[in-house]
Structures are given as C-alpha cells and as structure tokens.
Amino acid sequence: MKENLKVYDAINEARQSGKRAAVATVIKVMGSSYRREGAKMFIDEHENNIGLISGGCLESDVAEEAKKVMESGKPRMKFYDLDEDFMWGLGLGCPGKVKIYIEPISQEVKI
C-alpha cells in the first residue's frame, strides 16, 4: 500500500509542475503473476517511474507504451501473456496473463 501512496504523491507532483505523465494499473490477472490487481506504476515524460507492475519484466515495455499515451492523451489497454516461451525465453516462473490499463495524468484534478 505504501507503494501506491508514492504513486499518488508523484501524480500530484506532476500535476503541480505541469509535467506530462501516465499511470499504469494492473486491472486483471489470469493465472500466476508477480503483482495483483491494483498494482500501479507512475511514469513521467523524463522516463522516471515509481512503483512496479511485475517482477521487472514488463516495466520497460509499459514505459514505452506510456510515452505513446502521454503523446496522444488517450489511454490504452495492454495485454501480456507471460507464457515462458513467449516472454523472450527467460523462464520467468509466472506463466499468467496480465491486463494493464495505461492512462495519461490529467492536469485538472488533484488527488
């Protein structure tokens, strides 16, 4: 829970400073995964991030998707199948499926 509080603080800071940013949230887990629903990751326009949405294997791809979200201003859903063969042959040990919702941070509302 402390991690999500850090994410919320980062959101407020981004809003106050006018930085572009996005938040990725795990919204559905099917099978095994390192993180559960509700896990969040904050990503800003300078590629700083706070929080984890996986055991480290999805964060860089989600950060790339977050850049697109920041540019377009439109949220997107990303689906990952963590099948060991699919995930770059790394044998990650969590062969589940994960849906992640990535949304831009609005400058209008403060949490």
Structural domain contains residue 111 = no
Closest among 10, 19, 8, 23 to 78, alpha carbons compared:
23
13 has a pLDDT exceeding 80: yes
Q: Is residue 10 part of a domain?
A: yes
Average pLDDT over residues 74-85: 84
**CA pair distance 66, 12, nearest whole angstrom:** 17
* pLDDT for residue 1 is more than 70: no
What average pLDDT score do residues 4-16 get? 93
Q: Where in the sequence is the domain holding 60, given as residue range(s)?
A: 2-104
pLDDT at 111 over 90: no
Number of domains in the chain: 1
Give the residue, 74 or 2, on which the prediction is more confident: 74
Cβ–Cβ under 8 Å, residues 43 and 62: yes
Helix (H) or strand (E) holding 16: helix 2-17
Q: Which residues contact 84 (CB under 8 A, 6 or more apart)?
A: 90, 91, 92, 93, 95
- 110 occurs within a structural domain: no
Task: Give mean pLDDT, residues 66-94.
Answer: 77
| pLDDT category of residue 99 using cuts at 50, 70 and 90 | very high
